[in-house]
Amino acid sequence: MANYQGHLAGASVFYAVYLAGLAWVFSVDAAYTRFTLLELTAYPLALFGLCLMFGLWPDVDTNSKGQNLFYTIFFLVDVILIVTRHFEEAAYLGLFAILPVLGKHRGWTHTWWAMLLIPSPLLILPYLFFPERPLWGLPFYGAAVVGYFSHLFMDGLVLRLKRRRRTV
């Protein structure tokens, strides 16, 4: 089991592998030539940020650095929604924000299906709002899943190895 620094380090390592895979995919047909220098810099940084954030996300169900980060973000977004008079959206955000703390630590937030479901808006919303570019959110979704997976891996929930007991 890792602390938040361990989870950030694990997410960084997993991100490096993910970025290498993306670089290879984009180099196959020289797709990277369609991006500006700003995009070639900003996209990897945004993907790295997402990977780090989702590397901390599963621990939002307990008092942790991840919980502090995400609830600060939730609060700021909620305030913006209320100020801009989007009360229904603010109510839904509040409802969904409390779900992780209603469960126990290492409960549903530490499952493979949550790893695929929680980042799904990163895949679905670009598809809905930009139907001419349906796969635009795929790299962002991938970075979030990689970060989430790194957390589960660092907590020992991916490979459950049986520990041998020493007999004396």
What three-state secondary structure class fits 118? coil
Specify if 115 maps to a domain. Answer: yes
pLDDT tens by residue, 12-39 = 999 999 999 998 887 877 777 788 888 8
- Rg of the chain over CA atoms, in angstroms? 18
Q: Does a structural domain hold residue 38?
A: yes
Reference 51, options 163, 149, 164; nearest CA is 149
- Note whether residue 123 is domain-resident: yes
The pTM (predicted TM-score) of the whole model is: 0.84
pLDDT of residue 165: 60
Residue 39 maps to a domain: yes
DSSP-derived secondary structure letter, 164: P
Q: Is residue 67 part of a domain?
A: no
pLDDT at 145 over 90: yes
Q: Is residue 51 part of a domain?
A: yes
Judge whether 143 lies within some domain. yes
Whether 99 is covered by a domain: the verdict is no
The residue range of the domain holding 36 is 4-62+106-154
Q: How many domains does the chain have?
A: 1
Q: What is the rounded CA–CA span in Å between residue 123 and residue 14?
A: 20
pLDDT tens per residue across span 49-63 = 999 999 999 999 888
